[in-house]
């Protein structure tokens, strides 16, 4: 305990107390003043000693744990970890990132998140609409809704879908609490333990997690720049029949690639031929900066082959937790059952407000506004990235992600660790594969960042890449005998 008496927390500092504490314990570990296996004081005792809340100490310990400095043994306490093993622990940290549990130091520049910046939310319009709903519906707005969704909203969605060339009756629309819930309830409704699901490789990590939670066998089909590799898909279909194939044809996550129309049509033909469903995740089609219309596969679907999932998180307000499914009739009732088991219904007030938002056309106005902002940001980031030597990327024509390649043999996991040490978070390529397969790519998003943060973040990224390359060159020269 002696060594902890030296710690000093400044309650007037802008740096949160838990971070001050984490920094100081980190220093004790790095300077070897406390060594591997050393048991940290219990939370309550250290809190008393430093005259702070228990939460401050608990948060500092959590932060240190998520960065590999300490290990918590349940029922025993918190111990200094083996720093020599810290590099191996990067994977544990990446898994925390993947599960949305990484504790970030304040001030970290987060290129891993595509959460839209709150300044872009149409708060004033929404305020007016919420009041209108409350004046109109009173307490009914807070009662349980039909599990399928508020009927007038399903009608306005059905109308709205005509703009995308999709004909879906209100009965075929299922309102859901976010796109992630859509993937989850479809997994509940359609997957049994051991069933196959085909995905693009790489693919959205949240979908991998949902499919894994049902015990599915996930088969990755390589993604090319113009869409999924149809030859490899067909070869796999010869001996495996998946419950569905999960795809993102517009500005795919993580690559930003778009399917060609030909690829979409051929994929649909293949799905018809082998009698499988396509789960089409449209989370970003609307963010096409060059003005082109991205036609969903669903708009070509005459046979009830495509389950269409549309989220409003990236193009509206993620905290509303609002999305919908346009379903083939055959699976309608299984999906309502899964939705009912999950949360009975999506929040009624949100559904009613969003219904008015669509009906009044405010949706379009907001979309045009955010498109302009994101399009400028995308150009700005890509321009800056061009100055970094050794990386490869193509500027996407829309969306929020840039997929960046390091030269063959370089690890994006190493780069992730180097960037994090410098206060920059990137998404390493391996989280987009079912078994965290190594990939020399990483994903960058800019949606949550200011121009200043982008400038600073890319400078830091550039330094880290420079250092990665230098180290690697030495490694390469040595074994060439
Ligand atoms: C491809 C894709 N689908 C679905 C989701 C889930 O979105 P939400 O649940 O916020 O609607 C995300 C979130 O990043 C995503 O990238």
Per-residue pLDDT of the chain (481 residues; tens, 9 = 90+): 788 888 899 988 878 899 899 989 988 988 888 988 899 999 999 999 999 999 999 989 988 887 778 888 888 899 998 765 665 678 877 888 777 777 777 789 999 988 888 888 889 999 999 999 999 999 999 999 899 999 999 999 999 999 999 999 999 999 999 999 999 999 999 999 999 999 999 999 999 999 999 999 999 999 999 999 999 999 999 999 999 999 999 999 999 999 999 999 999 999 999 999 999 999 989 999 988 889 999 999 999 999 999 998 888 888 889 999 999 999 999 999 999 999 999 999 999 999 999 999 888 888 999 999 999 999 999 999 999 999 999 999 999 999 999 998 888 999 999 999 899 999 999 999 998 887 899 999 999 899 999 999 999 999 999 999 887 644 443 433 3
CA atoms of 333 and 330, how far apart (whole Å): 8
Token couple for 417: 């660790």
Whether ligand 1 lies within 6 angstroms of the CB of 112 is answered as: no
CA atoms of 356 and 156, how far apart (whole Å): 9
Looking from the CA of residue 322, the nearest atom of ligand 1 is: 11
Which CATH code fits 123-361? Answer: 3.40.640.10
Whether ligand 1 lies within 6 angstroms of the CB of 178 is answered as: yes
* Residue among 216, 272, 208 at smallest CA distance from 242: 216
Token couple for 303: 């046979």
What's the topology of domain 364-471? Answer: 3.90.1150
Looking from the CA of residue 312, the nearest atom of ligand 1 is: 11
Looking from the CA of residue 204, the nearest atom of ligand 1 is: 1
Q: Is 190 helix (H, G, I), strand (E, B) or coil?
A: helix
* Residue among 388, 384, 404 at smallest CA distance from 396: 404
Ligand 1: centre distance to CA 2 (Å): 48
Whether ligand 1 lies within 6 angstroms of the CB of 68 is answered as: no
Whether ligand 1 lies within 6 angstroms of the CB of 255 is answered as: no
Query: Could you tell me the residue ranges of all domains in the chain?
Result: 2-81, 123-361, 364-471
Q: Is 173 helix (H, G, I), strand (E, B) or coil?
A: strand
Looking at residue 87, its pLDDT comes to 58
What's the Cα-to-Cα distance from 419 to each of 106, 205, 416, 435, rounded to whole Å?
Answer: 15, 21, 5, 23
Counting ligand 1 atoms within 8 A of each CB, the residue from 99, 112, 180, 448 with the most, and so the one to mutate, is 180
DSSP 39: B
Ligand 1: centre distance to CA 100 (Å): 13
Whether ligand 1 lies within 6 angstroms of the CB of 401 is answered as: no
What's the Cα-to-Cα distance from 27 to each of 51, 104, 211, 275, rounded to whole Å?
Answer: 21, 18, 41, 60
Ligand 1: centre distance to CA 144 (Å): 25
Looking from the CA of residue 180, the nearest atom of ligand 1 is: 9
Instruction: Spell 239-268 as b/e; 16+ CB within 10 A means b.
Output: eeebbbbbbbbbbbbbbbbbbeeebbebbb
Whether ligand 1 lies within 6 angstroms of the CB of 204 is answered as: yes
Whether ligand 1 lies within 6 angstroms of the CB of 311 is answered as: yes
Whether ligand 1 lies within 6 angstroms of the CB of 248 is answered as: yes
Ligand 1: centre distance to CA 53 (Å): 36
Q: Give, using CA atoms, the residue closest to atom 4 of ligand 1.
A: 179
Helices (H), 217-361: 230-237, 261-274, 332-343, 348-359
* Residue among 313, 258, 257 at smallest CA distance from 283: 313
| Phi, psi dihedrals of residue 212, rounded to the nearest 5° | -65, -35
Counting ligand 1 atoms within 8 A of each CB, the residue from 113, 310, 314, 321 with the most, and so the one to mutate, is 314
What's the Cα-to-Cα distance from 12 to each of 9, 16, 20, 213, rounded to whole Å?
Answer: 9, 9, 12, 45
Rg (C-alpha) for the chain, rounded Å, is: 25
C-alpha angle 245/270/327, rounded to 5°? 50
Instruction: Spell 353-377 as b/e; 16+ CB within 10 A means b.
Output: bbbbbbbeebbeebeeebbeebbeb
Ligand 1: centre distance to CA 93 (Å): 21
Q: Assign domain 2-81 one CATH number from 1.10.10.10, 1.10.3720.10, 3.90.1150.10, 3.90.550.10.
A: 1.10.10.10
Partners of 398 in the β-ladder: 288
């Amino acid at each position: 305990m002696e060594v902890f008496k030296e710690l000093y927390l400044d309650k007037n500092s802008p740096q949160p107390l838990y971070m001050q504490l984490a920094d100081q314990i980190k220093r004790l570990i790095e300077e070897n003043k406390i060594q591997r296996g050393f048991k940290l004081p219990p939370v309550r005792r250290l809190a008393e000693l430093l005259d702070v809340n228990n939460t401050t100490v608990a948060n500092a310990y959590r932060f240190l744990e998520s960065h590999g400095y300490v290990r918590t043994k349940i029922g025993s306490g918190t111990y200094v970890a083996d720093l020599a093993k810290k590099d191996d622990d990067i994977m544990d940290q990446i898994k925390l990132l993947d599960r949305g549990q990484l504790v970030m130091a304040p001030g970290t520049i987060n290129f891993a998140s595509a959460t839209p910046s709150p300044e872009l939310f149409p708060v004033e319009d929404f305020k007016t609409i919420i009041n209108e709903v409350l004046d109109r519906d009173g307490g009914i707005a807070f009662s349980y809704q039909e599990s399928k969704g508020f009927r007038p909203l399903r009608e306005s969605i059905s109308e709205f879908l005509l703009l995308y060339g999709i004909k879906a009756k209100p009965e075929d629309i299922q309102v859901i609490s976010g796109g992630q819930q859509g993937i989850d309830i479809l997994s509940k409704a359609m997957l049994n333990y051991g069933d196959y699901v085909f995905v693009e490789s790489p693919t959205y990590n949240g979908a991998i997690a949902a499919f894994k939670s049902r015990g599915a066998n996930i088969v990755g089909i390589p993604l090319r720049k113009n869409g999924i590799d149809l030859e490899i898909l067909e070869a796999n279909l010869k001996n495996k029949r998946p419950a569905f194939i999960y795809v993102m044809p517009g500005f795919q996550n993580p690559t930003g690639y778009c399917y060609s129309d030909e690829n979409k049509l051929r994929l649909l033909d293949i799905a018809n031929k082998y009698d499988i469903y396509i789960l089409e995740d449209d989370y970003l089609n609307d963010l096409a900066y060059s003005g082109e219309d991205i036609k969903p596969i669903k708009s070509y679907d005459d046979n009830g082959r495509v389950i269409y999932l549309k989220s409003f998180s990236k193009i509206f307000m993620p905290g509303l937790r609002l999305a919908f499914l346009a379903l083939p009739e055959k699976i309608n009732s299984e999906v309502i059952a899964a939705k009912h088991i999950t949360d009975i219904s999506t929040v009624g007030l949100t559904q009613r407000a969003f219904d008015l938002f669509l009906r009044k056309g405010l949706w379009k106005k907001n979309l045009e506004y955010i498109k302009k902002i994101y399009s400028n940001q995308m150009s700005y980031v890509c321009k800056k990235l061009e100055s970094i030597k050794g990386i490869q990327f193509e500027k996407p024509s829309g969306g929020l992600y840039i997929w960046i390649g390091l030269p063959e043999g370089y690890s994006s996991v190493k780069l992730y660790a180097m960037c994090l040490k410098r206060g920059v978070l990137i998404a390493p390529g391996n989280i987009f594969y079912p078994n965290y397969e190594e990939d020399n790519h990483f994903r960058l998003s800019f949606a949550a960042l200011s121009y200043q943060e982008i400038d600073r973040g890319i400078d830091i990224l550039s330094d880290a890449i420079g250092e990665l390359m230098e180290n690697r060159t030495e490694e390469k020269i040595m074994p060439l005998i």
